[in-house]
Chain A
């Protein structure tokens, strides 16, 4: 852990955050808005990486956790008029409960079976939102009366700060003894259990931490957008983007996941002139990375550094 503070990765991360923090002084509100969304997405991807890269759980439904947090916060604000900050906290807590629910099958079934269970969880949430349209706004989406602030710069700093803190906590956790036990129980649960570690407890903890950050980020995103809709926080396609970000950036690196998410969203925007082909190009690039650089951006960079 101590070696991390002297490593090149640490200095590069700090430099990147400092440069990012000064951006509102000289770039347009449009770029800031784009990056704000990208930062929240980065937290989604990092939270997913904690579950997949470390606990070894293939979670196809990151948007179940995100959606529960986002919609809980949104509904409490729009239907009951509770204050924004209370709603955000309650959204994150609701997501923790959802993470607990999602963890129950994970302790029983493995691999593709668990993957399907998480996918079903997303589809159920989607159905629930459409069926209870009075409460949730249905397919049109829920309009949220309050926002944190309308200042683009302030929103950007909140998102950046939130992502930096989340990254520090999640990365620290992944490198801590707890993270190592988690990694061991993901790779060989029987042996990790034989060494005397409580696998159930560690996995449950991983789900709860992942759910907390997903839900918190989802709730913040809702108050940034001013609306919660299936298409932005629940749809399977959103979940796919989260997974692709994490794999692109480099699984099992946590920080790489955030890079992947920022790349994905910024690249999608740069490719906007190509019209409908934008998604095609992003998917093709992601597929090439998966095939030829399976370690992802950060994985490739780190292995080069380790070799030299």
Chain B
């Protein structure tokens, strides 16, 4: 009974983590950018969906769509206003661009977070779920919303896999992550590929954010923890490796759920952090990372 409950709850959380981290790792894999405004973009999507549905009464489906659209706009804004100017800047030496991108996206994330807090307060917000009610799964009373979350996450990840491996654009993205210079030699514009990747990222982060808002609720305080959890999942799996992030998301998700159920919710994040430190020591490139 309890085992099933852990299995089901853990799966939903893990799937959500996986979706959130996939876009993050995709951007790093292709353009070497660690986007520290990740959490802010997810929260912006959730808050937009909440505001659209609860204040402007546009309905849950339209609300969710608006949330994803806001994340898409935010992702493009991050790229064009912060990341691209730093990458193109001549005044910043190449070897320091990484820290500038980190600092820049961090500040950008704080700006988004503060704007959300200013217009919509710091209170926690729960987006109205698209499906309501509970069902009995293997003797565990499970909210339908939880099952819906898990299914959507898996579907989106499957679609992403198809997009990357089966379409021309996707193959260009994959090639850019392997060898950017080679791609430009084949006559593809790197900037276009980056724009596509940031677009994919925006949609992924938006869906993850809206689902998170329905499942657990968000507030502007969730920005930091969300970024940190995506960052640690991605490093645990190996920076830039999408399949590594998926595995890591499930490891972290189940570890947290197990701790919360069997030990105490207060210690929820500790085992995952210890695991992360341990992996850093024995295998610094992460589970499936390449150096």
Residues of A within 8 A of B (CB): 52, 58, 105, 108-109, 111-113, 115-117, 119-120, 123-124, 127, 130-131, 187, 236-237, 240, 243-244, 247, 276-277, 279-280, 283-284, 286-287, 290-291, 294-295
By a CB distance below 8 angstroms, the chain B residues around A109 are 280, 284
By a CB distance below 8 angstroms, the chain B residues around A131 are 266-267, 270
**A279-B114 contact given A123-B228, A295-B91, CB 8 Å threshold:** yes
Please measure, in the bound complex, the distance between the C-alpha atom of A277 and the C-alpha atom of B119, giving whole angstroms.
10
Please measure, in the bound complex, the distance between the C-alpha atom of A49 and the C-alpha atom of B34, giving whole angstroms.
21
Establish whether residues B104 and A287, one from each chain, have CB atoms under 8 Å apart when the complex forms: yes
**A294-B106 contact given A58-B99, A276-B117, A284-B111, CB 8 Å threshold:** no
Please measure, in the bound complex, the distance between the C-alpha atom of A123 and the C-alpha atom of B274, giving whole angstroms.
11
**A280-B114 contact given A109-B284, A240-B106, A291-B85, CB 8 Å threshold:** yes
Establish whether residues A124 and B100, one from each chain, have CB atoms under 8 Å apart when the complex forms: no
Cβ-neighbour of B239 out of A112, A244, A291 (below 8 A): A112
- Among A108, A119, A236, A295, the one with the most B-chain Cβ atoms within 10 Å of its Cβ is A119
B69 within 8 A of A: no
Please measure, in the bound complex, the distance between the C-alpha atom of A295 and the C-alpha atom of B100, giving whole angstroms.
11
Cβ-neighbour of A247 out of B103, B114, B239, B281 (below 8 A): B103
Establish whether residues B224 and A283, one from each chain, have CB atoms under 8 Å apart when the complex forms: no
Question: Nearest Cβ distance between residue B164 and chain A, in whole angstroms?
Answer: 22
B269 within 8 A of A: yes
By a CB distance below 8 angstroms, the chain B residues around A283 are 107-108, 110-111, 114
Q: DSSP majority for the B interface? A: helix
Q: Mark B94-107, 1 if CB is under 8 A from A, else 0.
A: 01001110111011
Cross-chain pairs A/B with CB under 8 angstroms, 9 sampled: A52-B99, A113-B284, A116-B231, A116-B280, A117-B280, A127-B267, A244-B103, A283-B114, A287-B104
Please measure, in the bound complex, the distance between the C-alpha atom of A279 and the C-alpha atom of B92, giving whole angstroms.
26
By a CB distance below 8 angstroms, the chain B residues around A105 are 280-281
By a CB distance below 8 angstroms, the chain B residues around A120 are 232, 273, 276-277
Cβ-neighbour of B114 out of A119, A187, A276, A286 (below 8 A): A276
Establish whether residues B104 and A290, one from each chain, have CB atoms under 8 Å apart when the complex forms: yes
By a CB distance below 8 angstroms, the chain B residues around A113 are 235, 239, 280, 284-285
13 A-B pairs besides A247-B103, A276-B118 with CB distance below 8 A are A117-B277, A120-B276, A131-B270, A236-B228, A279-B110, A284-B107, A284-B111, A287-B82, A290-B86, A290-B107, A291-B89, A294-B91, A295-B91
Establish whether residues B82 and A291, one from each chain, have CB atoms under 8 Å apart when the complex forms: yes
B115 within 8 A of A: yes
By a CB distance below 8 angstroms, the chain B residues around A286 are 107
By a CB distance below 8 angstroms, the chain B residues around A243 are 103, 106
Please measure, in the bound complex, the distance between the C-alpha atom of A298 and the C-alpha atom of B239, giving whole angstroms.
35
The 9 closest A-B pairs by CB, nearest first: A280-B114, A109-B284, A287-B107, A283-B110, A294-B92, A283-B107, A116-B235, A283-B111, A276-B118
By a CB distance below 8 angstroms, the chain A residues around B117 are 276
Please measure, in the bound complex, the distance between the C-alpha atom of A244 and the C-alpha atom of B270, giving whole angstroms.
28
Question: Nearest Cβ distance between residue B14 and chain A, in whole angstroms?
Answer: 20
Question: Nearest Cβ distance between residue B163 and chain A, in whole angstroms?
Answer: 26
Cβ-neighbour of B100 out of A115, A117, A279, A294 (below 8 A): A294
Establish whether residues A277 and B107, one from each chain, have CB atoms under 8 Å apart when the complex forms: no
Establish whether residues A130 and B266, one from each chain, have CB atoms under 8 Å apart when the complex forms: yes
Please measure, in the bound complex, the distance between the C-alpha atom of A33 and the C-alpha atom of B269, giving whole angstroms.
37
Please measure, in the bound complex, the distance between the C-alpha atom of A123 and the C-alpha atom of B231, giving whole angstroms.
13
**A290-B235 contact given A244-B107, A283-B111, CB 8 Å threshold:** no
Q: Mark B111-126, 1 if CB is under 8 A from A, else 0.
A: 1001101100000000
Cβ-neighbour of A236 out of B99, B100, B224, B267 (below 8 A): B224
By a CB distance below 8 angstroms, the chain A residues around B89 are 291, 294
Question: Nearest Cβ distance between residue A98 and chain B, in whole angstroms?
Answer: 14
By a CB distance below 8 angstroms, the chain B residues around A291 are 82, 85-86, 89, 104
Closest to A247 in B: B103
- Among B107, B117, B224, B232, the one with the most A-chain Cβ atoms within 10 Å of its Cβ is B107
Closest to B99 in A: A58
By a CB distance below 8 angstroms, the chain B residues around A276 are 114, 117-118
Establish whether residues B95 and A112, one from each chain, have CB atoms under 8 Å apart when the complex forms: no
Closest to A276 in B: B118
Cβ-neighbour of A119 out of B91, B231, B270 (below 8 A): B231
Closest to B28 in A: A112
By a CB distance below 8 angstroms, the chain A residues around B95 are 187
Please measure, in the bound complex, the distance between the C-alpha atom of A240 and the C-alpha atom of B37, giving whole angstroms.
13
Please measure, in the bound complex, the distance between the C-alpha atom of A287 and the C-alpha atom of B107, giving whole angstroms.
6
Cβ-neighbour of A116 out of B85, B108, B232, B269 (below 8 A): B232
